[in-house]
Structures are given as C-alpha cells and as structure tokens.
Amino acid sequence: MSDKLIANKKDSGRHYFDRPLCLVLIVFYKAIWGFLETLLGIFIFYSYRLVTNELMEDPQDLLANWIISHFNVTRSTATFGTIVIALGLTKMILAAAIWLRYKFVRELGIVFFSLIAIYGAYHSFVRFSWFTYFALVIDLVALAYFIFELPKHLKKSGIYE
C-alpha cells in the first residue's frame, strides 16, 4: 500500500471519543491521580495551620497532639503540600493537553513520564511497595506509548504531517 492510503486508514484498535483506548486510559489515569494529588496537597498544605490553631485553642486536645506526634506535622509541611499540589496540577494539565492533542504533548509527556519513572524506580529500590511498583509499571507503559504509538495516532489525526 502507498503511504497516502496507510495514513488515511484508521487503525484497527478500539477508539472512544475519537481517540485510541490506550490514550483514553492514560488521560483518565493521569487526570484522576492529578486531581487526588491536588486535593491531598491542599490538605497537607493547610494541616499545619489547622493543627497548630487547634492546639492554641486547647493545648490538651488529644487528637491534635496525636497527629503531631504520629505524622511529624511541621512548618515544612506547607512546602511539601505546595510540591504535591504542583505535581497534581502538572498531571491534570498534561492530561488535558493529551486530550486536546496539542503538538507539544508528545515531547512533554516523554519528559514527564521519564522523570516520574526514574523517581519511581529509585523509590522502588529504596523502599519497595507493591503500589509503587504498580505505578512505575503504569508510567513505563505510558512512556512506551508516547515514544512508539502516539506519533502514529497523531499523524492519523492530522496533527503531525
């Protein structure tokens, strides 16, 4: 077949919302995790202020004292909360850019998923958990999709000529 016929032929995989299934799943995964990380970051950001205000009102508050003793709530908690919020917002922006098929999304996705995979691999070796390992595998699959499959879908959509 000629290249022109191949470019106009729709691939045989499942499509939802005029997008390949794998792309829909990546967008859904990143959007949900980004939203949850943003909410968690907001909670972390305000936790120090909430706990210290509660202790100022009632220094004998058992719950506030328990939280401080078990979760190491300090002033740096706000900094950590800001970082978690930024990561969550980045994931949601990436999911929106993937969904809207912006030209820069492939390069941004490769950089983002590479950095997340490197950190995930490091974190898996330092403190192994099945959840971290599962997230690392998902990010590696997404990275492989961005490197090998996404250019084919973007060409068929007319984004990459």
- Give the bridge partners for 19, in sequence order: 16
CA separation for the pair 2, 111 (Å, rounded)? 33
- Within 10 A of 158 (CB to CB), how many other CB atoms are there? 9
90-122 residue pLDDT tens: 889 988 988 887 778 888 888 988 988 898 889
3-state secondary structure of 161: coil
For the entire predicted model, the pTM comes to 0.70
Span 36-84, pLDDT tens digits: 999 999 988 888 788 778 888 888 888 877 777 777 767 678 788 888 8
